[in-house]
Amino acid sequence: MRCAVRPRLMRGLFALLLIAGPVTMSHAEDLRLPRTVSVSATGTAVAEPDQAAVSTGVVAEGDTARAALSANTALMAKLIDGLKAAGIAAKDIKTTSFNVSPRYQNYKDGRPATINGYQVQNQVRILVRAIDTLGQVLDTAVTLGANQLGGIEFQVSGAETLKDEARKVAMTNALRRAKLFAASAGAEVGEVVAIAEEMAAPIGRPMVMNRGLTSAEAVPIERGTQTLEVRVSVTWALK
């Protein structure tokens, strides 16, 4: 009886192995990663800036914090009113910083420094939409009492629309490179799997103004051109 049962058991196990074998192979094929190619590329568009953002403000000092604040307030009110009269809209004038700090007197004989006054700084950001009037606006600001002039940031108002053209160029460049890689590997580019755009800052040179500028000096402005760059990362399936 034992000799009769054992062969049957062996035949049953062999049959199970034959069935399980194909299932295991099929499962391994399902887990195999799909073939893809990923490429990053850039596209650019060159434009001439048509507006500018200017940082300017007033620093005032006084023996007391109240005196410094009063002096600064009077100068800033004159500056803002004058800018509005020169054609700058109220929505294009924004306060960016306000600071009150003590002024110290240093002693050389080892005694600690003491406060001998206060300084108040108030700075605004002006958006000049008519860039041809930028030189006049700067002259007006200095004439009105602005004793701080920061950087000038040239901008392109229609930058997003121009970037659409740069995006098309970036995709064309990415596809060209993907086809090159695929052909070198003996494959073909299939459907797009993923597209991602990376943020890129405009390429241009900021203009920094001299804080010692006076209204009697000329204010030459050269806007130049600005390069808008778009970078994309694209993944294609390979056939």
Q: What is the pLDDT of residues 147-201, one digit of tens each?
A: 998 888 999 998 889 999 999 999 999 999 999 999 999 999 999 999 999 876 5
- 8 Å CB contact between 133 and 223: no
What is the value of pTM for the model shown? 0.63
- 8 Å CB contact between 201 and 18: no
| Domain 51-104+113-155 belongs in CATH node 1.10.490.10 | no
Superfamily of domain 33-49+158-205+222-239: Protein of unknown function (DUF541), domain 1 (3.30.110.170)
pLDDT digits (tens, 9 = 90+) for 87-125: 999 999 999 999 999 998 877 677 777 888 999 999 999
Same fold, 33-49+158-205+222-239 and 51-104+113-155: no
